[in-house]
């Protein structure tokens, strides 16, 4: 019985997926970002990125269509040369480092959404982001 309890505690401490659900004040802009957490793939790996404008999903990217850059200050996820937004680049930064930092589901962090069109930042918006964790 003890070994089953220990195994249950060990398994429950790992998430099957993680990510963020974000919205700007007034909900003009939103971002959903989900990561796979699979050690065989080099956890965590971005799995799905969706950009919303006024509640409508306007850009979707999966896996390899996302670039990830991490620093000591957080992680930036980028989608380059979007057809949906006239070849603009999308950058979503969150002050959290996947696989380094640990916070519970539901925790709120402030993120930044930046749109860069024709080499110039055309929009930068603060987002209220809620931590998502899917446990076994």
Nearest Cα neighbor of 133 from 111, 92, 91, 101 is 101
Contact of 30 with 91, CB cutoff 8 Å: no
- How many angstroms from the chain centroid is the CA of residue 85? 20
Query: In the prediction, which pLDDT does 130 show?
Result: 95
pTM of the model: 0.77
Query: In the prediction, which pLDDT does 14 show?
Result: 52
CA angle, residues 124, 127, 130, in degrees to nearest 5: 155
From first to last of its 136 residues, the chain has per-residue pLDDT tens of: 444 333 333 333 455 678 889 999 988 999 998 876 565 655 566 778 899 999 999 888 887 788 888 888 888 889 888 777 778 899 999 988 766 678 888 999 999 999 998 877 788 999 999 998 876 4
Query: In the prediction, which pLDDT does 102 show?
Result: 80
Query: In the prediction, which pLDDT does 5 show?
Result: 36
């Amino acid at each position: 019985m003890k070994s089953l309890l220990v195994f249950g505690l060990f398994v429950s401490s790992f998430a099957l997926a993680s990510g963020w659900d974000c919205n700007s004040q007034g909900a003009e802009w939103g971002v959903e970002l989900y990561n796979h957490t699979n050690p065989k793939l080099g956890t965590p790996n971005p799995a799905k990125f969706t950009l919303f404008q006024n509640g409508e999903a306007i850009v979707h990217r999966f896996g390899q269509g996302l670039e990830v850059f991490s620093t000591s200050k957080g992680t930036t996820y980028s989608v380059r040369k979007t057809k949906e937004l006239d070849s603009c680049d999308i950058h979503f930064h969150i002050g959290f480092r996947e696989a380094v930092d640990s916070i519970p589901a539901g925790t709120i962090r402030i993120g930044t959404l930046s749109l860069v069109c024709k080499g110039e930042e055309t929009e930068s918006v603060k987002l209220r982001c809620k931590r998502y964790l899917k446990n076994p």
